[in-house]
Amino acid sequence: MDHIRNFSIIAHIDHGKSTLADRILGLTGLVTARDQREQYLDRMDIERERGITIKAQSVRIPYKARDGKTYILNLIDTPGHVDFSYEVSRSLAACEGALLVVDATQGVEAQTLANVYLALDNDLEIIPVLNKIDLPSSDVARVKLEIEEAIGLDCAKAVPVSAKTGENVDEVLERIVTDLPPPRGDPDKPLKALIFDSWYDSYQGVVVLFRIFDGRVRRGQKIMMYSSKAVFEVSKLGVFSPDAKDVSDLGAGEVGFLCATMKNLQDARVGDTITDPLKPTTDPFPGFKKVKPMVFSGLYPVEPAEYEPLKIALEKLQLNDSAFTYEPEVSRALGFGFRCGFLGLLHMEIIQERLEREFQAKLIVTAPSVIYRVETTKGEVFDIDNPSKLPEPQAIASLAEPYAKLEIHVPNEYIGGVLKLCEERRGLQKDMRYLTSTRVIITYEVPFAEVVYDFFDKLKSTTRGYASMDYEIIDFRPSNLVKLDILINGEPVDALSTIVHKDKAPYIGRNLALRLKREIPRQLYEVVVQAAIGNKIIARERTPPLRKDVTAKCYGGDITRKRKLLEKQKEGKKRMKKMGNVEIPQEAFLAALKAGEE
């Protein structure tokens, strides 16, 4: 076990985590120049395009150190976004150490800090790595000071590198061997392994990534999931190095993958403990929880005929993403579709993008909603994930909404803008402290609905991109909330209903009506958009009918071209939904998302 090092790389987005991983794979000869590609460990197209990691990966790297011995370095690549903080925490729990990559031109950011805290919670040894020293704007001394002040991490032995040029990356490898502890564990104790990721592969079935703490696992052996007590037989056991290699057994301290007779991803939940059904461990890995989606939105096929294909696509997607949920729902406006649950907004965008890309599903997505907790006058308490499920106002005793604790890192010249934004979003200031003389951490408790509605984009524009943010959901609090309905030519459009704070309702109603008016193209008839709370109309916008759309000349030489023009108009209508006489483009359904803005 002394020759094993399990580590991960933690960093704020864009600080160079994937580049450093690429460089390590290249330097150790694991990935030859021929196979080299950027973000080697990110397997999905979306990951590479967006420059983020969504799924965890592990790779086993043989490394001949300067002491002449060969070590096995297991790099566990973690997802890099706040929506996936539980997955990150499980990946970190599988390691003894972590490289903390900080961009030496930027300094400590919100996710740096959030990830460091997760690493410290898991008792990880941390090696600070200051990246991008090839850039003239890098300031190693300042950033070292910032890390020491902000995190209390000794930076005397921090390694300055350029992952881009490869400068000093060999030193990082050496320090992994010398500074990170080898795994501890007892190969003779009952099997205890932590699942830190799992996915569905159409050939292999469920693939489980795990780290063994005690005991051994062999191909053909029976294993048991601690939480469900379900028993499976290991049909395939292996390591990624970087391609899958079969092995017959793995012992304490090692990282690998297995396939067993599992049918679906729910059989192998991230954070669960794998043990031996004959000799179960008495000491399962702590902190297992089922992740719950926090943001919900409706996904509807543009063409009704696409309902079944969409359902199949959602099923397939869920095989790979147990945090994502869906159930059928019916909207009067949009027809048959699905209510889908996501960890956060990024997760939602990713799922939407994957559906459109991998499954070619054309979608209409309704404005995201959080969960609301309803207490009725009869004393029932239940949660709703869709504004249209809200009972009539007279039946509601109280309504509560989730609150999130936000930590925002920002240069001090933007404090004013951030405070203003947080106050506008009904936030309660909890703390504000200086990280350094110029950088501040602002802590707020903000209704999560306000965060979902475009908060992050707003924060970025207010601070010219200098702010970074981390959040966690803390609790539900009663609020003065009302349901805002939208009527188009007198017909309520359920898919456009939102739950908003009463004080903001008139403003949001006016804004939403105006945005809809702008989004809905002129039609053959007048279109009237109204916003209403209960029976009270709070805003009205009118689009006059289309007045002129005529082809002046259509003689023998024009017929083909004119016909094609008229046929082509159908293309443009594909993403429209018909509501009575009115055709509503899908953008309109997202207008609600931005209605809170000026």
Residue 484: other Cβ atoms inside 10 A: 26
What is the smallest separation between the CB atom of 408 and another protein, expressed in angstroms? 44
The one among 289, 480, 559, 597 contacting another protein by CB under 8 A? 559
Q: Which is nearer to another protein, 249 or 519 (CB)?
A: 519
Cβ closest to another protein, residue 490 vs residue 557? 557
Integer Cα distance of 90 and 198 in angstroms = 12
Q: How far is the CB of 565 from another protein (least distance, A)?
A: 8
What beta strand segments (E) does 161-241 contain? 192-201, 205-214, 216-218, 222-225, 231-240
Which position among 64, 524, 534, 542 is part of the footprint of another protein (CB under 8 A)? 524
The binding track of 305-324 with respect to another protein, each residue x by CB under 8 A or -, is x-------------------
Three-state SS for 126?
Answer: strand
Contact between 542 and another protein by CB under 8 A: the answer reads: no
- Could you tell me which residues come within 8 angstroms of residue 231 by beta carbon, excluding any fewer than 6 positions away? 222, 223, 224, 277
Nearer to another protein, 395 or 546 (CB): 546
490 near another protein, rule: CB under 8 A: no
Cβ at position 485, least distance to another protein in Å: 24
Closer CB to another protein, 478 or 580, in the complex: 580
Cβ closer to another protein: 219 or 362?
A: 362
Closest distance to another protein from the beta carbon of 559 (Å): 6
d(CA 586, CA 583): 10
Within 259-410, residue ranges assigned H as helices are 307-319, 345-358
Question: In this chain, which of 171, 525, 536, 597 binds another protein, going by CB under 8 A?
Answer: 525
Among 37, 378, 433, 548, binds another protein (CB under 8 A): 548
Across 16-140, the runs of DSSP E, i.e. the strands, are 57-64, 70-77, 97-103, 125-131
Q: Which of 392, 490, 552, 598 binds another protein (CB under 8 A)?
A: 552
Q: What is the rounded CA–CA span in Å between residue 30 and residue 265?
A: 30
Selected from 248, 394, 535, 560, the binder of another protein by CB under 8 A is: 560
Least distance CB 545 / another protein (angstroms)? 8
Stretch that binds another protein, among 155-163, 172-180, 379-387, 548-556 (CB under 8 A): 548-556
3-class secondary-structure state, position 320: coil
User: How far is 141 from 237, CA to CA, in rounded Å?
Assistant: 46
- Nearer CB in complex with another protein: 156/552: 552
| Site map 273..292 versus another protein, x via CB under 8 A | --------------------
Closest separation between CB of residue 227 and another protein, Å?
45
* Three-state DSSP class for residue 213: strand
Q: Alpha helix (H) ranges present in 43-103?
A: 45-50, 85-93
Q: Which of 181, 393, 416, 545 binds another protein (CB under 8 A)?
A: 545
Beta carbon nearer to another protein, 149 or 526: 526
Give CA–CA dist 79/85, Å, rounded: 8
Q: Which stretch in 226-234, 392-400, 435-443, 559-567 sits in contact with another protein by CB under 8 A?
A: 559-567
Select from 133-141, 260-268, 308-316, 567-575 the region that touches another protein (CB under 8 A): 567-575
Among residues 136, 465, 490, 557, the one that binds another protein under rule CB under 8 A: 557
Using rule CB under 8 A, residue 377 touches another protein: no
d(CA 6, CA 255): 8
The structure tokens listed for 203 are 């050939």
Give the position of tokens 């709370």: 533
Nearest to 275 by CA among 206, 236, 227, 240: 227
Token pair, residue 256, equals: 């690998």
Neighbours of 67 (CB within 10 A): 10
8 A C-beta contact, residue 237 and residue 250: yes
Query: How many residues at the interface with another protein, by CB under 8 A?
Result: 28
Question: Cβ(523)–Cβ(546) under 8 Å?
Answer: yes
Phi, psi of 362 (to 5 degrees): -90, 125
CB of 304 to another protein, least distance (A): 10
CA–CA distance, 569 with 589 (Å, rounded to integer) = 21
Q: How far, CA to CA in Å, does 537 sit from each of 387, 490, 509, 596?
A: 18, 11, 9, 18
Question: CB of residue 584 vs another protein: minimum separation in angstroms?
Answer: 15
**Minimum Å distance from CB 550 to another protein?**
5
- Site for another protein, rule CB under 8 A: 303, 305, 524-525, 545-557, 559-560, 562-563, 565-567, 569-570, 573, 581
